[in-house]
Amino acid sequence: MKDELSTIEKNSTWELVDLPYGKKTIGLKWVYKVKYSDDGLIQKHKARLVAKGYSQQPGVDFSETYAHVARMETIHDLIYFGTNKAMVAEFKNQMMKEFEMTDLGLIKYFLGIQVKQSPGRIFLSQEKYIEDLFKKFNMSQCKPLSTPMALNENFQVNDDGEKADSTTAKRILRYLKGTKTQGIEFKKESECKLVGYTDSDWVGSIDDRKSISGYIFCLGSNVISWSSRKQKFVALSSAEVEYIACTNAACEAV
């Protein structure tokens, strides 16, 4: 509880003010949770202080329908617009209404990612981070692979195959070995058009009969958002799988 209060104060989550005339305070509630490790042991105790939102009235106590969260897709948007000078002025005018922005100038590394900048082009690469991983797990001489997973395989808990070594995830490291010079490129373009694609794999998980959804979104030719994950519900047909995948993609587009 002390950690939670300390975080709230550190992040300036709220400020104390006099209660406006005719308004009622919204109560708070402590929510406790025990987090367990994979072997069933208690890993940590968590406490969260939350507002009793059910006592609020739309248009009276609040106008937003969701909490603002910084997402990686937003960072990709910022980088994309940063490479297109023609859009920067309009973009800044919109963003400055809600956010404070600071020009960091020319940077070489950001959050462990190598950044290469040139006029109208930004290239993000994690080569340095990958090399450190190879040294840590003694796999600098491993053979490279072009995919992080075996192709054309359905998910299954017990498939009588050899158990994977979860402590090293060797195949993923071998994939990184083969793609360490690759990265994400954001380049200058004349058109800012959002385009999305979606696909699905019916009954991709044999054990629970759930399917896999995937989507990818681009601004121009610059990829800004992507996902591939198991659907929450069991679809009864391949057509239903496609509808669920399209719905997920539509929500991301919005």
Tokens of 192: 């800012």
What's the total number of domains in the chain?
2
Q: How many residues does the chain have?
A: 254
User: Would you call 171 helix, strand, or coil by DSSP?
Assistant: helix
Q: Which of 24, 39, 55 is the last residue of a domain?
A: 55
pLDDT at 22 over 90: no
Full-model pTM: 0.58
pLDDT at residue 251, rounded to an integer: 92
Could you tell me if residue 48 is inside a domain?
Answer: yes
Could you tell me if residue 179 is inside a domain?
Answer: no
Could you tell me if residue 230 is inside a domain?
Answer: yes
Could you tell me if residue 87 is inside a domain?
Answer: no
Secondary structure of 70-119 as H, E, C letters = CCHHHHHHHHHHHHCHHHHHHHHHHHCCCCCCCCCCCCCEECCEEEEEEC
Could you tell me if residue 86 is inside a domain?
Answer: no
pLDDT at 244 over 90: yes
Could you tell me if residue 64 is inside a domain?
Answer: no
pLDDT digit string (tens) for 103-158?
A: 666 777 766 677 887 777 778 787 888 888 889 888 889 899 888 887 777 767 66
User: Would you call 162 helix, strand, or coil by DSSP?
Assistant: coil
pLDDT at 192 over 80: no
Could you tell me if residue 181 is inside a domain?
Answer: no
**Can you give the residue range of the structural domain that contains 221?**
193-254
Could you tell me if residue 6 is inside a domain?
Answer: yes
| CB contact at 8 A, 219 and 77 | yes
pLDDT at 179 over 70: yes
| CB contact at 8 A, 65 and 53 | no
pLDDT digit string (tens) for 69-107?
A: 677 888 788 777 767 665 556 656 665 555 565 666 677
Cα gap 157→170, rounded to integer Å: 19
Q: 213 Cβ partners below 8 Å, 6+ apart?
A: 198, 199, 200, 227, 228, 229, 230, 231, 241, 244, 245, 248, 249
Cα gap 83→121, rounded to integer Å: 6
User: Would you call 179 helix, strand, or coil by DSSP?
Assistant: helix
| CB contact at 8 A, 93 and 99 | no
